[in-house]
Chain A
Amino acid sequence: MNYARTNGLSFRLKHWTAKPSWQMFSHNNGAMLGATTLVITILMAIIGPWIAPFDPAQQFSNRSFQPPLWNQGGNFAHFLGTDDLGRDLFSRLLHGARLSLMLSGFIVLVAAGIGVLLGAIAAFLPPFVRNILMRFMDLLLSLPSLLLAIAVVAVIGPGLNNAVYAVILVLIPQFVKLTQSSISQELSKDYAMAARLDGARPIRLLFKHIGPNIVPAIIIQLTFSFSTALLDIAALGFLGLGAQPPIAEWGTMLAESRAYIQYAPWTMALPGLAIFLTILSINLVGDGLRDALDPQINQ
């Protein structure tokens, strides 16, 4: 803390606030609910392999299509039921959470890192070069993200790794566009000119003055991109282009069970519900973070 006393006063000089206000966040019921769900999901993903009752790939050929506990014929051993090959759904969901969350987190961080860096560079490029870069990004954005991911995977071949690269590539343009446009917008405001006239050099202007003002926009984009990544990875798995069948991954599980939706709906509903809840909680947390980061709202 950079607190020091001057004539009985204390105020911060160098410690700029990028910290969200916990008070604001904790009063936002939706955000708290989302955060709780998310923390539970992440915890489950971490300790999953230890609490999972069965191996996710272990098949019990005599126990296929056991319904979950609350349906008629459910039993305690497989309390979320089993799938077509008699694999325990709860164990598969736990292992799938690990893979899905880790992959989406990795994808979003890499895409955001590259995208924000490119966007920040683009904002300071000469107009001609910037326009070329931005039109290229527009080109990538003009295709639906899933279609583009499918195209990329079709070129580099199916598989989980390639699906990850494809989704990263698909997510980058959004970050570039967002960062570049927010920086240009903030640069045109009076306070940016005031900071320049106060002698702030471009690097300081970018990180100290403009940075904190575009962070909320990037956080919102991060949460949206996280859900897009989760969905795209799941969708690629669903199409057979991402995670390959023996791997427990939510999208792949969804895909495998689509033939049995009428006979055994839980095999599809449970992974779907897991994806839905995770994305919902991430979006709620993102909304709450945006409000908590804004000093104009949280004082």
Chain B
Amino acid sequence: MANLLKAKLLRKSYKVSNNPFKERYLEVLKGVSFSINPGQTLAIVGESGSGKSTLARILVGAEKPDSGELLFNGNDILKNKHFAWYKDIRMVFQNPRTSFNPRATIAQILAESLLNAKADNSMQIKYKIAETLEMVGLRPEYADRYPHTFSGGQRQRIAIARALMLNPKIIVADEPVSALDVSVQAQIINLLLDLQEKLQLAYIFISHDLGLVQHFSDKVLVMNKGIQEEYGPVGQVFSQPQSQYTQKLLAASAGYKRKITE
């Protein structure tokens, strides 16, 4: 069976010098491959600067990789010549404070993708907004308010609602809970799990929190400086880490945990 999304050897580098005679490039991704099926969660872990966020931006179509393939239901979606809009792969941003236009109401923010898709009339869009807000545990009356009137957790619910508007198959979440209170983190994670069960969503979940990853995901991809260190089922990677880097990462996380329990 073909995978829902399959990435093959994605590579990306950025130009770091403006000198035309001495071009220097920084390789951010050095060949990353993975696959994901409906209802599954893939966690991407690694230290800061390991290329996780770049990978996320490539997956949602904000940037193009230099080489590699991205197969969605068996079709290479990178082959589209023009600006490709990935309606089936949507993103939840890390910081709910900066990811909303401060001058748009929640209804306008949520309607944006539907208006651009031109599939529904405004009645249907409003109905869809109300429905989606209820699905993420918010009251539909909130739709006429501005983002800054909500708490961080509520805003992250709105961000999830925005990602859900086009009925996507995959949601890429770039550290969706790291900017939230610990008590709210659990609520958001539970919401994501409920939605996954209900809608058979696949998640690509970028996180620092290894404890959370262990609890939440099916597969894990460990990255270090753009290199794919390890990739496999969560249980296997966490119990028998093959690469040194993964071992170090796990040890660091364990040490941190011991410190707070003492």
The answer, among B102, B108, B162, for a CB contact under 8 Å with A12, is B108
A residues 184-238 near B (Cβ < 8 Å) are 189-191, 193-201, 204, 209, 212-213
Q: How far is the CA of A299 from the CA of B146 in the complex (A)?
A: 9
User: B116: CB under 8 A from chain A?
Assistant: yes
Report the count of interface residues on A (CB-CB < 8 A). Answer: 31
Residues of B within 8 A of A201 (CB): 116
Q: Is B98 touching A199 in the complex (CB atoms < 8 A)?
A: no
B64 contact set on A, CB distance < 8 A: none
B22 interface residue (CB < 8 Å to A):
no
A6 proximity list for chain B (CB < 8 A):
123, 126-127, 130
B101 within 8 A of A: yes
Tell whether, in the assembled complex, residue A295 and residue B103 are in contact, meaning their CB atoms are under 8 Å apart: yes
B143 within 8 A of A: yes
0/1 string, B122-149, CB within 8 A of A gives 1? 1101110110000000001101101011
The reply to whether B146 and A9 contact each other, CB–CB distance below 8 Å, is: no
With A190-B95, A196-B62, A295-B146 as given contacts, are A13 and B111 in contact (CB-CB < 8 Å)?
yes
Number of interface residues of B (CB under 8 A): 41
Bound complex: CA A6 to CA B144 (Å) = 13
Report chain B residues within 8 Å CB of A10: 144
Nearest B residue to A18 via CB reads B103
Task: Tell me whether B112 and A198 are in contact (CB under 8 A).
Answer: yes
- Measured between beta carbons, the chain B residues less than 8 angstroms from A196 are 62
Chain A residues touching B, majority SS: loop
Residues of chain B within 8 A (CB-CB) of A295 are: 102-103, 146, 148
Q: How far is the CB of A11 from chain B (nearest CB, A)?
A: 4
**A197–B90 touching, CB < 8 Å:** yes
A6-B130, A12-B105 given; A197·B61 CB < 8 A: yes
Indicate if the CB atoms of B93 and A198 lie closer than 8 Å. Answer: no
Does B173 sit within 8 A of A, measured CB to CB?
no
Within the complex, what minimum Cβ distance (angstroms) separates B23 from chain A?
15
Instruction: Please tell me if the beta carbons of A197 and B91 are within 8 angstroms of each other in the complex.
Output: yes
Question: A204 touches which one: B87, B93, B100, B116 (CB < 8 A)?
Answer: B116
Residues of B near any A CB (own CB < 8 A) = 60-62, 85-87, 90-91, 93, 95, 98-105, 107-108, 111-113, 115-117, 122-123, 125-127, 129-130, 140-141, 143-144, 146, 148-149, 162
19 inter-chain pairs at a CB distance below 8 angstroms, sorted by A residue, are A4-B123, A6-B130, A9-B141, A12-B105, A12-B108, A16-B104, A190-B93, A190-B98, A191-B98, A195-B101, A196-B62, A197-B60, A197-B61, A198-B113, A199-B113, A213-B101, A213-B102, A296-B146, A299-B149
